[in-house]
Structure 1
Amino acid sequence: MKSIKVTIAGAGSGYTPGIVLTLLNSDEFNVEELRLYDIDPVRNDDMHVIIDFIVNNGGYDIELIKTEDPKIAFTGVDFVFSQIRVGKMEMREIDEKIPLKHGLVGQETCGLGGFSYGMRSMKGFSELIDLIQEYAPQAWILNYTNPETIVAETVRRKYPDAKIVNACDMTIGIEDLICDSFDYDRKNWIQEYYGLNHFGWYKSIYDVSLGRDIMPEILEKIQKQGFNVEGMDDSWALTYENMKKMVDDFPTHIPNNYLQYYLYPEMIVEQSDPNYTRANEIMDGRLKKIKETAKMIRENPDLEGIDYEGNSHGQYIVDIAASILYNKNDRFMLIVPNMGSIPNLRQDATVEVPCYVNAKGVEPIRLGFNIPDFHKGLMEAQVASEKLLVDAYFENSYQKALEAFTLNQTVPNAKVAKAVLDDLIEANGDYWVELK
């Protein structure tokens, strides 16, 4: 079992305990050193209290380091797990509420809120990559930073030789939901999936234990039974009700749940509360839990335990690290340049497709079929709008940003696109590059 040093960038995130517990309990490698890095010292300190408790309470033999110094954070590490959120949850709230004010979808990674976040992430993530390249050019960067397609396109243009894997666990979430709802085991599956990040479809799911494609029966079960949403919060339960509607209306493929924002934007706006969005739910939930847990530990270090455990979000990124470390060639859904993976889609698109991961990095799978025109048309428009946004970032171009906003499929016309763009420029200030 190999020993590794890992840095979590954006360590103040509520996802950190789950990732750390998955890391510490892995039987594939020994985490010799774990470094928590965040530019917010208060959040980093709270998370350090929680992770230190987990390490000590679990009897793990590991050196734990908390730092806001990038030199200390990155020098000599093997992996950087990146989950930064530029502007934190306060800016996510703005991303969601400004479009809603104009009658448009307000969402973290989709629509114009996603583009606002994308402009911040391009700038902030580029600064992070610069630091990693300076202090740890040998390290693998396993990236969860959103919006993934926009971030991956930025990295492709600016850092073509960076050792980076762009991953999203949403497909794992969908597959877990299907298994929980209809009694399958995704470990038996070989999936054909294609799209952009948060914008894709399953074409087939071959179950090796059954020896057949089970997609037709899954689609039938979704239509007849719906998903099991017991125990979910209201917003996620509604999301999966909307996902069933997508299957009812377009019954040939299993869609990524985020497609609801593009296929039914007016319905999503009607379902939204412009004064209390998902960002507010997280502030009152996951973020509040971090503060309360850290306070509880500080006041009583001898607690028997705290309410955190490993999860599929953590397992996904840990499995990717293991596949690199041991040259395993395991299969994952990852965000990569198209270059023929989807034959009838433009070659320079940044797509999400099955890939093999080994010691050299990511090897995308060529799917070997043309995708339907309906999906292709949706994807081509989305690719173009995202590329225009990345152009706007690199060229400091207001015009390209306006074109990107206008082309986004949640937007009905250029007038409202311009109004939202101008509002978001003012709200984001120095988080964005200057647009001229």
Structure 2
Amino acid sequence: MTGIKIVTIGGGSSYTPELIEGFIQRYDELPVRELWLVDIPEGKEKLETVGALAKRMVKKAGVPIDIHLSLDRKEALPGADFVTTQIRVGLLEARAKDEEIPLKYGVIGQETNGPGGLLKGLRTIPVILDICKDIEQLCPDAWLINFSNPAGMVTEAVLRYSNITKTVGLCNVPIGMHMGVAELLDVEADRVHIDFAGLNHMVYGLEVYLDGEIVTNKVLDLLSSGAGMTMKNIVDLGWEKEFIKALNVLPCPYHRYYYQTSKMLEQEQEDLKEKGTRAKVVQQLESELFDLYSDPNLAIKPPQLEERGGAYYSDAACRLIHSIYNDKRDIQPVNVKNNGAITGIPADSAVEVNCIITKEGPKPINVGELPVAVRGLVQQIKSFERVAAEAAVTGDYHQALLAMTINPLVPSDTVAKEILDEMLEVHKKDLPQFFASSV
């Protein structure tokens, strides 16, 4: 049969309409024959709602994409060319705990950074590795495109603890930075190029170009003069002008947690009192989105979806799949095995770096040494990801404690143990590897 088969695990996500829109827009060059949306029984209602909207979108666009819904990934996977994963183990209730508990201890509560990022990784990695086993058996030639967070840690685990080699981790932060810089410069996005390098949610723009000319200093001046560039889920507190000038590279929005820790912590604690955690805000946004999705007259992606912090994830996935399928050889920032692209990071570790996208997959563009000002922080976070991935796979409490303690957002081993013990307990049902002996 002609055309390709794509399986999206976590298909009941509120982001899925963006994925559908991306496939529709690219159909002439990316002939998707089948799209399977897969979810778990707890997500059945959302899957059916999103699936019905997906079918309306495809019908309105007049493209022959067959949409299938399933609660069994083993039914969906055979013959897949691409598998995308966008899962949230424990749902938004788990995210709320990840964000709220660290704040009790005076520590940043954020779903992909610090203690929250660790616990999300501990819950997510075993499930992704189970998916990898099914891919190995049912569609061994498929590409795994993961944008489940923490994407860097998940990619690290897939590279180290599965037999999947055709895997790419994806994040919307670089595309958001790209669009943000274009907005700062008041130009079309296709005129801007950024040399990205680092890790997931720890990526830097080493140089910024406009029409091929370096404009890094101009962008940093704009950024430090009050011009905003952040994401829906990260408050923009501005930057100290002298600091940005000294840093001399473009930080990503998540760097606020590391360079403005006390201010971000204070803001989170205020937000918790006034409106609850970000997870609570997202629950309300999701409720409103699914009300929209339920409208039988809606047959497009609603613009309100861009209010979610992960907007553009799905479009980035469509762009990546399109480029692999068509051997585009364009440049995109993705999470892949380093293979020496960034000096000082192990060759077999995951990094987020500009790659040439080919039919054989992404080819990392050599960066060499990162600037000394950022190198240490990147290496520290990579150590955290490595140890955390091992803890997720083995269920080793001591490795989990080590990971928590070496994370730069956690102030001491004592605080690390207190937070870890409480978070392991509240997430017990989603962390069987840590409680196997007591079951």
CA contact (8 A) 1:247 1:254 kept: no
Q: Distance in 2 between matches of 1:56 and 1:318?
A: 19
Please list every run of 5 or more consecutive structure 2 residues that lacks an aligned counterpart in the other structure.
Answer: none
Q: Which of 262, 286, 298 is the aligned partner of 1:266?
A: 262
1:20-419 correspondence to structure 2 within 5 Å: 20-26=20-26, 27-39=28-40, 40-207=43-210, 209=211, 211-227=212-228, 235-236=233-234, 238-239=235-236, 241-242=237-238, 248=244, 250-272=246-268, 273-274=271-272, 276-285=276-285, 287-297=286-296, 302=297, 307=302, 312-368=312-368, 370-419=369-418
Residues 178/60 of structure 1: CA separation in 2 closer, same or farther (3 Å cut): same
Q: Distance in 2 between matches of 1:81 and 1:326?
A: 18
Q: Distance in 2 between matches of 1:198 and 1:416?
A: 24
CA contact (8 A) 2:337 2:347 kept: yes
**Greater shift in the superposed pair: 156-165 or 168-177:** 156-165
CA contact (8 A) 1:243 1:257 kept: no
CA contact (8 A) 1:37 1:73 kept: yes
**Greater shift in the superposed pair: 136-145 or 246-255:** 246-255
Distance apart, 1:249 and its partner CA? 6.7
CA contact (8 A) 1:247 1:255 kept: no
CA deviation profile, 1:324-347 (whole Å, cap 9, x unmatched): 112222211111232321123444
Residues 141/244 of structure 1: CA separation in 2 closer, same or farther (3 Å cut): farther
Q: Distance in 2 between matches of 1:251 and 1:183?
A: 24
Residues 129/415 of structure 1: CA separation in 2 closer, same or farther (3 Å cut): same
Letter of the structure 1 residue corresponding to residue 249 of structure 2: H
CA contact (8 A) 2:18 2:301 kept: no
Distance apart, 1:80 and its partner CA? 1.4
Percent identity of equivalent pairs: 29
Q: Distance in 2 between matches of 1:401 and 1:218?
A: 39
How many residue pairs end up in the alignment? 422
Letter of the structure 2 residue corresponding to residue 203 of structure 1: L
Q: Distance in 2 between matches of 1:126 and 1:142?
A: 13
Residues 246/425 of structure 1: CA separation in 2 closer, same or farther (3 Å cut): farther
Q: Distance in 2 between matches of 1:360 and 1:432?
A: 35
Distance apart, 1:282 and its partner CA? 0.8
Residues 25/421 of structure 1: CA separation in 2 closer, same or farther (3 Å cut): same
Q: Distance in 2 between matches of 1:248 and 1:377?
A: 17
Distance apart, 1:387 and its partner CA? 1.3
CA contact (8 A) 1:38 1:67 kept: yes
CA deviation profile, 1:96-117 (whole Å, cap 9, x unmatched): 1111121111111001101010
Q: Distance in 1 between matches of 2:241 and 2:6?
A: 42
Distance apart, 1:184 and its partner CA? 2.7
Letter of the structure 1 residue corresponding to residue 265 of structure 2: V
Distance apart, 1:33 and its partner CA? 1.4
Q: Distance in 2 between matches of 1:63 and 1:102?
A: 50
Q: Distance in 2 between matches of 1:226 and 1:247?
A: 15
CA contact (8 A) 1:104 1:266 kept: no
CA deviation profile, 1:11-60 (whole Å, cap 9, x unmatched): 11111001111111213222221111111212211211221222233333
Letter of the structure 2 residue corresponding to residue 175 of structure 1: H
Residue of structure 2 in register with 1:15 after alignment: 15
Letter of the structure 2 residue corresponding to residue 30 of structure 1: P
- SS, match of residue 274 in structure 1: helix
Letter of the structure 2 residue corresponding to residue 307 of structure 1: P
Letter of the structure 2 residue corresponding to residue 417 of structure 1: A
**Greater shift in the superposed pair: 165-174 or 385-394:** 385-394
Distance apart, 1:4 and its partner CA? 1.6
TM-score w.r.t. structure 1 length? Answer: 0.90
CA contact (8 A) 1:219 1:251 kept: no
Q: Distance in 2 between matches of 1:252 and 1:116?
A: 33
Q: Distance in 1 between matches of 2:53 and 2:141?
A: 29
CA deviation profile, 1:61-113 (whole Å, cap 9, x unmatched): 22111111223211112111211111111111111111112111111100110
Q: Distance in 2 between matches of 1:411 and 1:127?
A: 30
TM-score w.r.t. structure 2 length? Answer: 0.90
Distance apart, 1:148 and its partner CA? 1.1
CA deviation profile, 1:338-385 (whole Å, cap 9, x unmatched): 2321123444442111111211112111114x2222311111211112
Letter of the structure 1 residue corresponding to residue 3 of structure 2: S
CA contact (8 A) 1:242 1:260 kept: no
